[in-house]
Amino acid sequence: MRLFVAIRFTPEVQNTLIDCIKELKSSSLSGNFTRPENLHLTLAFIGETSNLNAAKKCMDAISCGKFDITLKGFGRFGDLWWVGLAENPKLSMLVKDLQQRLRDCGFNISTRPFRPHITIAREVKTVSDQIHLNVPNISMTVDRISLMKSERIEGKLIYTQLYAKHL
Ligand code: 3AM
């Protein structure tokens, strides 16, 4: 199965992101917009594995405690659009620790620098390059990280939480 570790959002943050998606949709010709239930922040992409227990153990070893995140700004990687987060040393430390533990367990985790982003749409075609999204700087407390399974069922991307580690 294809796994990744992520932060899932409170209803308030999710609703804010849904508003951002609506705003982007209204300025786009087409795009593959993230379904509300799929909104997440990826902390580590594990990829194909059958070793669920090893991934869980790495998550269980994390001892960073709860912390807050705040939405801030938006951007794009090519035709992928994202909402960003305010600078967050606690989040950066968590990701560094988690990714290293996963590597030490034998998972092939990318060494690319972590750029926290919430993907709100892919394959977006816009009329103009001058699109602005209104992203309110709302916050939430992160009190768990989730181990997610990613699969495509009848063309639809489905994410299922398999495990949650409380911080
Ligand atoms: O959360 P985002 O949208 O940034 O793009 C995939 C998604 O990222 C990413 O993992 C998240 C959950 O699927 N992903 C998929 N394949 C990947 C890979 N080979 C990958 N990230 C790194 N390497």
What residue spans define the domains of the chain? 2-166
Q: How far is the CA of 148 from the centre of ligand 1 (A)?
A: 12
Ligand 1 atom nearest to CA at 157:
13
Which pLDDT does position 127 carry in this prediction? Answer: 83
Q: How far is Cα 138 from Cα 129, in angstroms, rounded to an integer?
A: 26
- Which CATH class name applies to 2-166? alpha beta
| Atom of ligand 1 lying closest to residue 112 CA | 22
What was the pLDDT predicted at 128? 86
In this prediction, residue 6 carries a pLDDT of 98
If we measure between CA atoms, which residue out of 85, 87, 62, 74 comes closest to residue 146? Answer: 62
Q: Which runs of E-coded beta strand occur in the chain?
A: 2-7, 28-33, 41-48, 67-77, 80-85, 117-126, 139-142, 144-153, 156-166
Q: How many Å lie between the centroid of ligand 1 and the Cα of residue 45? A: 6
Q: How many A from CA of 46 to the centre of ligand 1? A: 9
Q: Which residue ranges have their beta carbon within 6 Å of ligand 1?
A: 4, 42, 45, 47, 110, 117, 119, 150
Tell me the CA–centroid distance for residue 122 and ligand 1, in Å: 12
Closest CA to ligand 1's atom 7:
42
**Residue segments in the chain with a per-residue pLDDT below the cut of 50:** none
pLDDT, position 129: 82
What distance in angstroms lies between residue 107's CA and the mean position of ligand 1's atoms? 15
Nearest CA to ligand 1 atom 9: 45
| Residue 90 parent element (H or E) | helix 89-104
CA of 148, closest atom in ligand 1? 12
